[in-house]
Amino acid sequence: MSKKIFLCSICNINSGTCLEDCKFCSQSVRYRADIERYKQKDMELIKQEAINARDNGALGFCLVTADKGLNDKTLAFVSAVAKEVQSVAPELRLIACNGTATVEQLLTLKEAGIKAYNHNLETSKSFYANICTTHSWEERYETCQNVNEAGLVLIAGGIFGLGETQEDRVSMLESLASLNPTSVPINFYHHNEALELAPNPLEVDEALALIKLTREKLANAERIMVAGGRELMFGKRQSEIFEVGANSIVIGNYLTTSGRAMSKDLQMLQNLSLDVATEVK
Ligand code: SF4
């Protein structure tokens, strides 16, 4: 496992238009959450965000679309964005996160310059029906298998604090381990009042223990990334995530919520004498 910290920035290139019913997600149109919604982010804005992310130390740049999965139109848009971003920030490692995908679609993304694909299992197989009824956990697992088959780097994780039991958490981590992901993003549920789910019940010490457990259960993963909900979950104790196994974070804004300024994260790493990764497997 690399001790350098991999920084990743996410870019929501299509926002808030999803018809699925994932109960933790403010991007579903069903819950009418007060978020920004658009079909395609302006290409110039995406390129500016990419340059800004690179200039702040990000190595990963993730192109996210809010939908159940890829279709021809989304595939063409993500591919076009990938090519444009490479033209202005070739140093960035491009990641796509576009929901369920076939091997053929993933190969098209690979051709366009995408190096890795993020698709999360979200929670355990048995708890999944409690948080989503419009698609199955098995479909998610299959997409992760497709990523491996397509020869893209697999980034697969989940979200804690949805009301799942500890048994569910262990089960999800074991399922993730069976997919052998290179990077494991773990998210902590960020409650939005428009959503039906109860607020995240986790305490900071419990959340830190879950990062440690993720590190242990996914011993072969190159990176354990703390993604959405970091600031809200850990507050002033954010630096402790690196002591329990995290070696990657998302910097800047999240999909529908604001993160803190990238400079604050860089300062935190400097204070901890942690180096930022400048290359990756
Ligand atoms: S499929 Fe993705 S974007 Fe759509 S509601 Fe579920 S988590 Fe949100």
Q: Give Cα 209 distance to the centre of its chain.
A: 20
Instruction: Return the residue whose CA atom lies nearest to atom 3 of ligand 1.
Output: 66
Note the pLDDT tens digit of each residue in 207-236: 999 999 999 999 999 999 999 999 999 999
In a domain, 274, yes or no: no
Instruction: Return the residue whose CA atom lies nearest to atom 1 of ligand 1.
Output: 68
Pocket test for ligand 1, best of 13, 15, 18 (most atoms within 8 A of CB): 18
The helix (run of H) or strand (run of E) holding residue 47 is helix 43-55
Beta carbons within 10 angstroms of residue 145's beta carbon:
14
Long-range contacts of 258-261 (CB under 8 A, 24+ apart): 259/230, 259/231, 260/231
In a domain, 149, yes or no: yes
In a domain, 281, yes or no: no
| Confidence bin at 2 (pLDDT 50/70/90) | low
Q: Percent helix, strand and coil across the chain, each rounded to 5? A: 40, 20, 40
Expressed as residue numbers, the domain containing 39 is: 6-269
In a domain, 278, yes or no: no
* Cα dihedral 92, 86, 40, 11 in deg (nearest 10): 10
In a domain, 174, yes or no: yes
pTM tops 0.75: yes
Instruction: Return the residue whose CA atom lies nearest to atom 6 of ligand 1.
Output: 22
Ligand 1 mean position to 200 CA, how many Å? 18
Q: Closest Cα to residue 118, out of 240, 212, 21, 12?
A: 12
Ligand 1 mean position to 193 CA, how many Å? 17
Are 161 and 202 in contact by the 8 Å Cβ rule? The answer is yes
Q: Name the maximum alpha-carbon separation found in the chain.
A: 46
Are 235 and 165 in contact by the 8 Å Cβ rule? The answer is no
Confidence at residue 200, expressed as pLDDT on a 0 to 100 scale: 96
Confidence at residue 158, expressed as pLDDT on a 0 to 100 scale: 98
Helices (H) and strands (E) in the chain, counts: 9, 9
Q: For residue 116, give the 3-state DSSP assignment.
A: strand
Ligand 1 mean position to 205 CA, how many Å? 28
Note the pLDDT tens digit of each residue in 42-56: 999 999 999 999 999
Read off the CATH number of the domain in which 218 is found.
3.20.20.70
| Confidence bin at 16 (pLDDT 50/70/90) | confident
Q: Is the pLDDT of residue 253 over 90?
A: no
Confidence at residue 192, expressed as pLDDT on a 0 to 100 scale: 87
Q: How far apart are CA 29 and CA 278, in angstroms?
A: 38
Beta carbons within 10 angstroms of residue 80's beta carbon:
13
Beta carbons within 10 angstroms of residue 111's beta carbon:
10
Confidence at residue 99, expressed as pLDDT on a 0 to 100 scale: 96
Confidence at residue 279, expressed as pLDDT on a 0 to 100 scale: 85
Pocket test for ligand 1, best of 17, 21, 27 (most atoms within 8 A of CB): 27
* Protein residues whose CB sits closer than 6 Å to any atom of ligand 1: 18, 20, 22, 25, 27-28, 66, 68, 99
Beta carbons within 10 angstroms of residue 42's beta carbon:
10
Are 187 and 157 in contact by the 8 Å Cβ rule? The answer is yes
Confidence at residue 147, expressed as pLDDT on a 0 to 100 scale: 98
Q: For residue 214, give the 3-state DSSP assignment.
A: helix
Q: Is the pLDDT of residue 72 over 80?
A: yes
Confidence at residue 272, expressed as pLDDT on a 0 to 100 scale: 93
The two tokens of residue 105 are 């679609």
DSSP classification of residue 236: G
In a domain, 169, yes or no: yes
Q: Domain count of the chain?
A: 1
Share of the chain above pLDDT 70, in %: 98
In a domain, 276, yes or no: no
Note the pLDDT tens digit of each residue in 90-132: 999 999 999 999 999 999 999 999 999 999 999 999 999 999 9
What average pLDDT does range 12-25 have in this prediction?
89
Confidence at residue 281, expressed as pLDDT on a 0 to 100 scale: 66
Pocket test for ligand 1, best of 23, 24, 28 (most atoms within 8 A of CB): 28
What average pLDDT does range 63-79 have in this prediction?
95
Q: Is the pLDDT of residue 188 over 60?
A: yes
Share of the chain above pLDDT 90, in %: 83
DSSP classification of residue 122: B
Q: How far apart are CA 97 and CA 192, in angstroms?
A: 22
Phi, psi (deg, nearest 5) at residue 222: -70, -35
In a domain, 20, yes or no: yes
Q: Is the pLDDT of residue 86 over 70?
A: yes
Distances (CA, A) of 108 to 69, 87, 150, 237: 14, 18, 10, 41
Confidence at residue 256, expressed as pLDDT on a 0 to 100 scale: 67
